[in-house]
Copies of this chain bind each other. A is one copy, B any other.
Amino acid sequence: MTRQADLEKLTGLTRPHRDMINIMPLQTGSILTDAARRMLLEFGDGYSICDFCQGRLVDIANPPVRQFVTEMLPEFLGSDIATLTYGARDGVFMVIHSVTKPGDVVVVDGNRHYSTAVAAERAGVELAPVPNSGYPEYKVDPEGFAQALRDRKAALLILTYPDGRFGNLVDAARVGEIAGTEGVPLLLNGAYAVGRMPVRMNDFGADFIVGSGHKSMASAGPSGVLGMKQKWQEVVLRRSALHKTKEIECLGCTVRGVTLATLMASFPTVVERVTHWDEQVAKAQWFSSAMEELGFTQLGEKPHRHDIMVFETPALFDISQRVRERGFYLYKEMESRGIWGLKPGQTKALELSTFAASREELGQVVDAFKAILEKYR
């Protein structure tokens, strides 16, 4: 039996590190805007977005979901049409489940997110990965997709753009060309692109693009977007035979509440911030250089073109072998310096993102690593 005290603890949960410098790859793109934060209270109750729903989430006029979905999102995604999802992975599954059948082959880059593999398993399709180049850059050659399509008859091609570990950006236009030549639809997984950097699926000849509200669009989660070419509407957004207004692949409707309110409220800021992507890239490159000066090695593409990065940090690992807290010392040292987002226990290779921190704050991050190296020398 659950004790009453444990139950009561649920009413007072807190996040003490909320105002620290955040470098966690999962979180830097989804810190809410002030407008979104106001929406939390306004649309907190369940089904709050559905006050005036007449049967279709995407057709709600007040708040302007319809305009957001039919006009603003397609413009932003470079797609013909768009819809709402629970997140990027859910969009990936919707597409796989709609355009393939069990037993089909789906060609994917070797750096794909785990959820793409899980979505493929759920749909009963086989993934054929295009391998990356291995240590230290882990690059995926777009020509690998051409080879894969020669080797196997594929029903779909998925490109992770960028991947969530190395932050590598494959030449998506070339992949789109290959997909077009072979007549295989291309899905871009833009979970770490849409809302951070300019990305329009039409520029790449892609058929689909998914984005994540809670990864990169300054939104609460779960929330996501899916853009596609018009010709896929009848396939992916097909309607129920019995309930003619309801779409089958999203089970009728998806983000029916506060997370859609935050996605919409942050959208003007998101539209604006992607125009400053060059500054984000410059900041990431500057940070990478500063980290390498400390003796760390940035993995993935160089020069780097995204805020998501991994560093090999053998000197930090060496320390973990000598201290009482083992790997956890690093997390604690960083936390005590106001820096949040390293995985507790990790010291060998650090995954982080420079998206949310200012250059000055990133300077503090570099200084923190420097101080830790000196402290334990």
Closest 9 CB pairs of A and B: A30-B46, A46-B214, A221-B257, A11-B35, A40-B40, A7-B268, A13-B63, A26-B47, A46-B221
Let me know if A8 and B119 touch, CB within 8 A. no
**A100 within 8 A of partner (CB):** no
Let me know if B75 and A114 touch, CB within 8 A. no
Supposing A18-B42, A40-B41, A47-B26 touch, asked if A118 and B246 sit within 8 A by C-beta, the answer is: yes
Let me know if B118 and A44 touch, CB within 8 A. no
A256 to chain B, nearest CB (A): 5
> What are 22 sample pairs from A and B whose C-beta atoms fall under 8 A apart?
A7-B271, A8-B268, A9-B64, A10-B64, A11-B33, A11-B35, A14-B42, A15-B48, A24-B47, A32-B44, A32-B45, A37-B44, A46-B220, A87-B256, A93-B251, A114-B240, A114-B243, A118-B246, A118-B247, A118-B252, A221-B256, A222-B255
Residues of B within 8 A of A114 (CB): 240, 242-243, 246, 252
**A289 within 8 A of partner (CB):** no
When C-beta atoms are compared, the residue in chain B nearest to A212 turns out to be B46
Let me know if A214 and B47 touch, CB within 8 A. yes
Let me know if B252 and A89 touch, CB within 8 A. yes
Residues of B within 8 A of A163 (CB): none
**A225 within 8 A of partner (CB):** no
Let me know if B251 and A118 touch, CB within 8 A. yes
**Residue in contact with A256 in the complex, picked from B48, B222, B242, CB distance below 8 Å:** B222
Residues of B within 8 A of A75 (CB): 1-2
**A68 within 8 A of partner (CB):** yes
**A297 within 8 A of partner (CB):** no
**A67 within 8 A of partner (CB):** yes
Interface size on A, residues (CB 8 A): 92
**A43 within 8 A of partner (CB):** yes
Within A1-30, the residues touching B (CB, 8 Å) are 1-2, 6-15, 17-18, 24, 26-27, 29-30
Let me know if B220 and A268 touch, CB within 8 A. no
**Residue in contact with A259 in the complex, picked from B72, B119, B259, CB distance below 8 Å:** B259
Let me know if B117 and A268 touch, CB within 8 A. no
When C-beta atoms are compared, the residue in chain B nearest to A33 turns out to be B11
Residues of B within 8 A of A153 (CB): none
Residues of B within 8 A of A40 (CB): 40-41, 44, 258
A residues within 8 Å of B by Cβ?
Answer: 1-2, 6-15, 17-18, 24, 26-27, 29-33, 35-37, 39-48, 50-52, 63-64, 67-68, 71-72, 75, 86-87, 89-90, 93, 97, 114-115, 117-119, 121-122, 212-215, 218-223, 240-243, 246-249, 251-252, 254-259, 261-262, 264-265, 267-268, 271, 344
> Measured between alpha carbons, how far is A213 from B122 in the docked complex, in Å?
25
A76 to chain B, nearest CB (A): 9
> Measured between alpha carbons, how far is A48 from B26 in the docked complex, in Å?
9
Supposing A29-B46, A45-B30, A259-B222 touch, asked if A121 and B240 sit within 8 A by C-beta, the answer is: yes
Residues of B within 8 A of A31 (CB): 45-46
> Measured between alpha carbons, how far is A65 from B131 in the docked complex, in Å?
36
Let me know if B10 and A68 touch, CB within 8 A. yes
Residues of B within 8 A of A48 (CB): 15, 27, 220-221
Supposing A13-B39, A40-B44, A67-B6 touch, asked if A222 and B252 sit within 8 A by C-beta, the answer is: no
Let me know if B42 and A115 touch, CB within 8 A. no
- A7-B268, A27-B45 are known contacts; what are 8 more A-B pairs with Cβ within 8 Å? A18-B42, A32-B44, A37-B44, A40-B258, A52-B344, A121-B241, A221-B257, A221-B258
